[in-house]
Amino acid sequence: MMRLFRAALVQMQVGKDRTQNLVNAAKLIAEAKCDGAKLVALPECFNSPYGTKFFNEYAESIPNGPTCEMLSKAAKENSIYLVGGTLPERENNKLYNTCTVWSPKGELLAKYRKMHLFDIDIPGGITFKESDVLQAGNELVMFEMEGIKVGLGICYDMRFEELAKLYRLQGCEILIYPGAFNMTTGPIHWELLQRGRALDNQVFVFAISPARNEQGYIAWGHSQITNPWGKVTTQAGHSQEIIYGDIDLSECDKIRQQIPIFTQRRTDIYDTVKNK
Ligand SMILES: NC(=O)CC(=O)C(=O)O
């Protein structure tokens, strides 16, 4: 069972030209592989600008569109596990914000649809309503990487601690969130939420943002790796870059032994209160 590996989070620049986005992603994936990555992860909406007015135009079916073709080929050519950020997905005339995961043989390992849609309204800050055009997913999705269980979420999902806890209860040691926080929420919430999810659940958390752009939805950047102690071990700036983490899963074992919160949960009490 693999316990040590190198992860690469690709904080890439995303623009309006889909082909250019795919070419850029493929180039950066190959670079991450050359630098020793076994798992490479891309950001939310890496093939299209992030915005409700773009989702319909850029949507593709999975696994048949050009974006999945590129992802499958890149995973196979580089023999890596590839978390393909997210793309707007179309199925039966409905749209979803969907993350795909590819095996080193280029096979589709998992597909997760954003479960909590990003609907917020902060006067003077940001108003965004994914539910105007997207449907929410209804399933937790995990994949296994040579014995390591990894749970998937997308961006706003990281605000929901119940989702992270359910993944931990199902044996996950890593949670991966492709995400695109913004200039209003990013500065205070991005890092803190990930540290919270990591510490609460004693898991590694990887979050991958697009690089900051000049117009439209301005992404916060700061892709991040947080360890099960709740410590940020690597964080990007806001430009295009790849960050790396040498992940040692024995850190999960150690912290879970030293602070055994998952054997001390008082579900007898919680359940009584919940059912009142
Ligand atoms: N873009 C998102 O889904 C979430 C986000 O920016 C936030 O929660 O803030």
Query: Could you tell me the two tokens for 70?
Result: 């590129």
Position in ligand 1 atom list of the atom nearest CA 130: 3
Number of separate domains in the chain? 1
Question: Considering only CA atoms, which of 256, 232, 114, 246 is closest in space to residue 177?
Answer: 114
Counting DSSP H helices and E strands in the chain, the numbers are 7, 15
Q: What is the pLDDT along the chain (276 residues), one digit of tens a residue?
A: 889 999 999 999 999 999 999 999 999 999 999 999 999 999 999 999 999 999 999 999 999 999 999 999 999 999 999 999 999 999 999 999 999 999 999 999 999 999 999 999 999 999 999 999 999 999 999 999 999 999 999 999 999 999 999 999 999 999 999 999 999 999 999 999 999 999 999 999 999 999 999 889 999 999 999 999 999 999 999 999 999 999 999 999 999 999 999 999 999 999 888 777
- Active-site residue 76, yes or no? no
ipTM of the complex: 0.98
Which of 14, 181, 222 should be mutated for ligand 1, with most atoms under 8 A from CB?
A: 181
- Decide: 180 in ligand 1 pocket, CB within 6 A: yes
Residue with tokens 């102690």: 229
Ligand 1 centroid – CA 268 distance (Å): 34
Q: Is the residue at 197 inside a domain?
A: yes
Given this model, what pLDDT does residue 151 score? 98
Which of 112, 129, 156 should be mutated for ligand 1, with most atoms under 8 A from CB?
A: 156
Rounded distance, CA 178 to CA 222, Å?
12
Q: Is the residue at 171 inside a domain?
A: yes
Which member of 44, 60, 173, 251 is catalytic? 44
| Phi, psi dihedrals of residue 228, rounded to the nearest 5° | -70, -10
Strand partners, 102: 82, 108
Position in ligand 1 atom list of the atom nearest CA 185: 9
Given this model, what pLDDT does residue 173 score? 98
Q: Is the residue at 256 inside a domain?
A: yes
Given this model, what pLDDT does residue 276 score? 78
CATH of the domain at 17: 3.60.110.10
Rounded distance, CA 188 to CA 209, Å?
15
Given this model, what pLDDT does residue 215 score? 86
Q: Is the residue at 245 inside a domain?
A: yes
Q: Is the residue at 272 inside a domain?
A: no
Terminal CA-CA length for the chain: 44
Position in ligand 1 atom list of the atom nearest CA 159: 8
- Decide: 190 in ligand 1 pocket, CB within 6 A: no
**Domain range enclosing 172:** 4-264
Given this model, what pLDDT does residue 134 score? 98
Q: Is the residue at 270 inside a domain?
A: no
- Decide: 115 in ligand 1 pocket, CB within 6 A: no
- Strand 81-83 relative to strand 39-41, pairing: parallel
Query: Could you tell me the two tokens for 231?
Result: 């410590």
Q: Is the residue at 276 inside a domain?
A: no
Residues 6+ apart with CB under 8 A from 167: 140, 142, 151, 175, 201, 203
- Active-site residue 27, yes or no? no
- Active-site residue 89, yes or no? no
Cα 228 to Cα 44, 100, 176: the distances in Å are 23, 24, 13
DSSP state string for 123-142: TTS-EEEGGGT-PPP----E
Contact 99, 108 (CB under 8 A): no
Contact 180, 85 (CB under 8 A): no
Which member of 45, 99, 155, 172 is catalytic? 155
Q: Is the residue at 9 inside a domain?
A: yes
Ligand 1 centroid – CA 124 distance (Å): 16
Nearest alpha carbon, ligand 1 atom 5:
181
- Decide: 3 in ligand 1 pocket, CB within 6 A: no
Query: Could you tell me the two tokens for 12?
Result: 């890439």
- Decide: 185 in ligand 1 pocket, CB within 6 A: yes
